[in-house]
């Protein structure tokens, strides 16, 4: 248990993100916490680069219902202070935490406090003992570093451990996690480190995280993007929903367009998605513009439009509701979606 969030043991895969505000700025950090939680984040991590940041932990915990993980590098005293100040979990990197003696001191403190410890190994900061000068951090070395640290934590009495072994490319990451998954039963925090911008990073993270989850590897995930943290949560939700591991909320499906397309599907689908962004009600909305798959996909959705040059067919719950004029496709579709959302929300009340 990380705060009130279960990790591993068959519990749902949880979503994590990390704030990019100064942790010592409590107001700004809590504002980002609220945005992350609204987007669907389950666990939040903050960087603790200095004593002032560690001292802010109690105020941050008091201002959110999400469990808080303190991310520690270079100074083991900050890890000790974060534990003292009540962080639900800490993340330490064997390659940056310092000497084995200091790492064991942190482990003993975590064991005494009942603090969750994540061993977070990254390819860019692998321990020097496992990395030849100028050589890439290979998957086996990433796994070995993590597993050695797990042994140390267990020997020190730590009773709640998570493990991550991240590289910035998919093949090494997947191989490293497969090795670790074979050798330990501790929950795995899965992600691709330094994945990139929102476009390329989303693709890389979806491939890597998706591949691991499809193999049954992974208990909690973070999508690492060079983008606002809320975008990480949005991508993570879609990854989980695409694998059937979390309700998708409202999902818009649309045809890829070809020479058979008779309406501007790109503009229509984009407008629909933007209008319905943030809706948590699990609905499938189809925006189709082809006579081949259009009617079938629209009929299979909760609400769907199958458009053509003469207008479109509006389907609700698999039944043809009415024909819609070419200038009314957007308004009619949105109207029916909102009506259905309201009906389902009243039904859940």
Closest by CA to 87, choosing from 120, 64, 121, is 64
Q: What is the mean pLDDT of residues 282-304?
A: 87
Long-range contacts of the stretch 130-139 (C-beta < 8 A, 24+) = 136/172, 137/167, 137/172, 138/172, 139/165, 139/167, 139/171, 139/172, 139/173, 139/175, 139/176, 139/179
Output the CA–CA distances (angstroms, integers) from residue 205 to 46, 190, 198, in the order listed.
21, 10, 10
Between 268 and 86, the more confident residue is 86
Long-range contacts of the stretch 215-219 (C-beta < 8 A, 24+) = 215/178, 217/177, 217/178, 217/181, 217/188, 217/190, 218/13, 218/177, 218/188, 218/189, 218/190, 219/7, 219/8, 219/11, 219/13, 219/14, 219/162, 219/187, 219/188, 219/189, 219/190
Q: Which of 23-32, 77-86, 266-275 has the lowest mean pLDDT?
A: 266-275
Is the CA virtual torsion 84, 88, 89, 90 positive or negative?
A: negative
Closest by CA to 283, choosing from 272, 293, 291, 294, is 272
pLDDT of 300 over the 60 cut: yes
What is residue 222's predicted lDDT score, i.e. its pLDDT? Answer: 97
Phi and psi at 134, nearest 5°, equal 80, -5
What is residue 106's predicted lDDT score, i.e. its pLDDT? Answer: 96
**pLDDT > 90: percent of the chain:** 70
Q: Which fold, 250-348?
A: Sulfite Reductase Hemoprotein; domain 1 (3.30.413)
What is residue 46's predicted lDDT score, i.e. its pLDDT? Answer: 98
What is residue 246's predicted lDDT score, i.e. its pLDDT? Answer: 85
Q: Which of 49-53, 162-166, 291-295 has the lowest mean pLDDT?
A: 291-295
pLDDT of 144 over the 70 cut: yes
- Interval 178-223: pLDDT, tens: 999 999 999 999 999 888 899 999 999 999 999 999 999 999 999 9
The answer to whether residues 12 and 213 touch, using CB atoms and an 8 Å cutoff, is no
What average pLDDT does the structure give for the chain?
91
Output the CA–CA distances (angstroms, integers) from residue 46 to 22, 54, 80, 87, in the order listed.
9, 10, 15, 10
pLDDT of 159 over the 90 cut: yes
Q: What is the mean pLDDT of residues 61-90?
A: 97
What is residue 289's predicted lDDT score, i.e. its pLDDT? Answer: 87
Long-range contacts of the stretch 238-241 (C-beta < 8 A, 24+) = 238/206, 239/205, 239/206, 239/209, 239/210, 239/213, 240/13, 240/15, 240/213
What is residue 163's predicted lDDT score, i.e. its pLDDT? Answer: 97
Between 123 and 108, the more confident residue is 108
Please state the pTM of the whole predicted model: 0.87
- Give me the residue spans of the domains in the chain: 14-242, 250-348
Phi and psi at 82, nearest 5°, equal -65, -40
Q: What is the mean pLDDT of residues 227-240?
A: 94
**pLDDT > 70: percent of the chain:** 97
| CA trace torsion 16, 19, 24, 28 (10° rounding) | -120
Q: Which fold, 14-242?
A: TIM Barrel (3.20.20)
Cα distance between residue 54 and residue 186, in whole Å: 27
pLDDT of 53 over the 90 cut: yes
Which residues is 296 bridged to in the sheet?
A: none
What is residue 130's predicted lDDT score, i.e. its pLDDT? Answer: 73
Buried b (16+ CB within 10 A) or exposed e, 99-120: eeebbebbbebbbeeebbbbbb
What is residue 136's predicted lDDT score, i.e. its pLDDT? Answer: 64
Phi and psi at 322, nearest 5°, equal -170, 165
What is residue 349's predicted lDDT score, i.e. its pLDDT? Answer: 42
Task: Check residue 2 and report its DSSP letter.
Answer: B
pLDDT of 175 over the 90 cut: yes
pLDDT of 134 over the 60 cut: no
Q: What is the mean pLDDT of residues 127-156?
A: 82
pLDDT of 135 over the 60 cut: no
pLDDT of 133 over the 70 cut: no
What is residue 137's predicted lDDT score, i.e. its pLDDT? Answer: 67
Classify residue 151 as exposed, middle or buried by CB count within 10 Å of its CB (0-12, 13-18, 19+). exposed
């Amino acid at each position: 248990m990380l705060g009130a969030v279960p990790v591993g043991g068959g519990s749902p895969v949880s979503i994590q993100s990390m704030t990019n505000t100064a942790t010592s700025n409590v107001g700004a950090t809590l504002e980002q916490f609220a945005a992350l939680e609204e987007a669907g984040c389950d666990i939040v991590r903050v960087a603790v680069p200095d004593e002032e940041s560690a001292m802010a932990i109690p105020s941050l915990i008091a201002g959110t219902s999400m469990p808080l993980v303190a991310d520690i590098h270079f100074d083991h005293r900050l890890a000790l202070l974060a534990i003292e100040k009540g962080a639900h979990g800490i993340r330490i990197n064997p390659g940056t935490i310092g000497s084995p003696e200091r790492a064991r001191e942190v482990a003993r403190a975590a064991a005494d406090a009942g603090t969750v410890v994540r061993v977070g190994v990254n390819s860019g900061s692998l321990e020097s003992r496992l990395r030849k000068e100028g050589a890439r951090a290979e998957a086996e070395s990433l796994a070995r570093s993590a597993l050695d640290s797990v042994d140390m934590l267990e020997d020190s009495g730590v009773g709640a451990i998570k493990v991550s072994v991240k590289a910035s490319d998919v093949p090494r990451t997947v191989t490293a996690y497969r090795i670790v998954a074979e050798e330990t039963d501790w929950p795995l925090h899965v992600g691709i480190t330094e994945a990139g911008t929102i476009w390329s990073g989303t693709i890389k993270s979806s491939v890597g995280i998706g591949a691991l989850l499809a193999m049954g590897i992974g208990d909690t995930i973070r999508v690492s993007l060079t983008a606002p943290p809320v975008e990480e949560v949005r991508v993570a939700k879609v990854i989980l929903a695409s694998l059937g591991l979390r309700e998708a909320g409202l999902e818009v499906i649309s045809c890829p367009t070809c020479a058979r397309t008779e309406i501007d599907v790109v503009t229509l689908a984009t407008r629909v998605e933007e209008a319905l962004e943030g809706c948590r009600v699990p609905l499938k909305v189809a925006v189709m513009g082809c006579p081949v798959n259009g009617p079938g996909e629209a009929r299979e959705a909760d609400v769907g439009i199958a458009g053509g040059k003469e207008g479109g067919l509006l389907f609700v719950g698999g039944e043809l509701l009415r024909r819609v004029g070419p200038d009314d496709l957007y308004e009619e579709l949105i109207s029916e979606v909102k009506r259905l959302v309201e009906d389902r929300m009243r039904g859940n009340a």
